[in-house]
Amino acid sequence: MSENCLFCRIISGDIPSDKVYEDEYVCAFRDINPQAPVHVLVVPKAHIASAADVSAENSLYVARCFEAIAKIAAAEGLGNGYRVITNCGEDGGQSVMHLHFHLIGGVKLSEKII
Ligand code: 5GP
Ligand code: ZN
């Protein structure tokens, strides 16, 4: 974990957040600037900088993030669907350099990038 990383500090409890889920590998909390009625950030409890840094050594954290996403989506009532996004690097619009998955839903999402 990194002392200079916002999400490492949220995971450790150093910076407060509205946590919705936590286990050994994953921490999930509500985005401070929500883009939909449900906007949760699902974050591995290891300092992986971005999707570009996923490897055989740390990919269990990513798998656990997706297991958590399924549970959180069900708990948040997103049975009708949702979107999972990860921004990667400067051109991808990533602003916090600790891998995270945006879980967005609670409304019919109309913006389609792909
Ligand atoms: P990115 O732009 O890196 O894909 O996403 C970073 C996200 O972190 C943004 O949606 C932003 O609103 C959120 N964020 C930034 N600072 C904080 C914070 O201190 N607390 C929480 N809960 N979310 C934050
Ligand atoms: Zn970090």
Residues 42-65: tens digit of each pLDDT: 999 999 999 999 999 999 999 999
**101 close to ligand 1 (CB < 6 Angstrom):** no
Q: What pLDDT, in 10s, does the model give residues 85-114?
A: 999 999 999 999 999 999 999 999 987 776
Within the chain, strands assigned E span 19-22, 26-30, 38-44, 82-85, 101-105
**94 close to ligand 1 (CB < 6 Angstrom):** yes
For residue 27, pLDDT over 90 is answered with: yes
| Boundaries of every domain in the chain | 6-105
Q: In which region does residue 13 sit, left (phi positive, over 0), alpha (psi from -120 to 50) or beta (all else)?
A: left
Residue type, 80: N
**95 close to ligand 1 (CB < 6 Angstrom):** yes
Tokens representing 93 are 């619009």
The torsion angles phi and psi of 19, rounded to 5 degrees, stand at: -75, 135
Give 107's contacts (C-beta < 8 A, 6+ positions apart): 36, 37
pTM over 0.85: yes
- 100 catalytic? Reply is yes
Q: Which of 96, 98, 103, 104 to mutate to test the pocket of ligand 1 (most atoms within 8 A of CB)?
A: 96
Q: Which atom of ligand 1 is nearest to the CA of 30?
A: 22
Instruction: Give the architecture (CATH level 2) of 6-105.
Output: 2-Layer Sandwich (3.30)
Q: Mean pLDDT, to the nearest integer, of 22-30?
A: 98
Closest ligand to residue 92's CA: 1
